[in-house]
Amino acid sequence: MLRRVVVITGCDSGLGWAVAARSAREGLVTVAGMYGGTESRAAKALNGLSAHTHGLDVTKPESVTEFKDYIDTLVKDNPGYKLHAVVNNAGIMTIGDYEWQTQSIIENTINVNLLGAMRVASAFLPELRRIAIDKQDKLRPRIINIASHCGLQPLPGFGPYSASKAAVLAWTKALRLEHYHHGLTAVAFVPGGFVTNSNLLSSQKQQSLAMLENLDEEQKKFYGRRLKTLTDYLALVSQNTSYDSLKDESIIETYMKALLDENPKELYKVESGRYNLYYNLLKIPMPESFQQWLINKFLSFPKKQ
User: What are residue 190's phi and psi, to 5 degrees?
Assistant: -105, 105
**Alpha carbon separation from 293 to 11, 286, 289 (Å, rounded):** 36, 11, 6
C-alpha angle with apex 4: 3 to 10, nearest 5 degrees?
135
- Summarised one tens digit per residue, pLDDT across range 11-27 is 999 999 999 999 999 99
113-117 mean pLDDT: 98
pLDDT recorded at residue 304:
63
pLDDT recorded at residue 242:
85
Q: Are 279 and 149 contacting, i.e. CB atoms less than 8 angstroms apart?
A: yes
User: Model pTM?
Assistant: 0.94
| Residue 303: burial class (beta carbons within 10 Å; 0-12, 13-18, 19+) | exposed
CB within 8 A of 39, min separation 6: which ones? none
pLDDT recorded at residue 196:
66
pLDDT recorded at residue 239:
63
Per-residue b or e along 100-115, where b marks 16 or more CB atoms closer than 10 Å to that residue's CB: bbbeebbebbebbbbe
Q: Are 258 and 268 contacting, i.e. CB atoms less than 8 angstroms apart?
A: yes
Number of Cβ within 10 Å of residue 8's Cβ equals: 29
Q: Which amino acid is at 130?
A: R
Name the residues annotated as catalytic.
Answer: 161
* pLDDT band with cut points at 50, 70 and 90 for residue 209: very high
* pLDDT band with cut points at 50, 70 and 90 for residue 198: confident
pLDDT recorded at residue 163:
98
Q: Does domain 3-198+243-270 have CATH number 3.40.50.720?
A: yes
Q: Is pLDDT of 294 > 60?
A: yes
- Summarised one tens digit per residue, pLDDT across range 73-103 is 999 999 999 999 999 999 999 999 999 999 9
Every domain range in the chain assigned CATH 3.40.50.720: 3-198+243-270
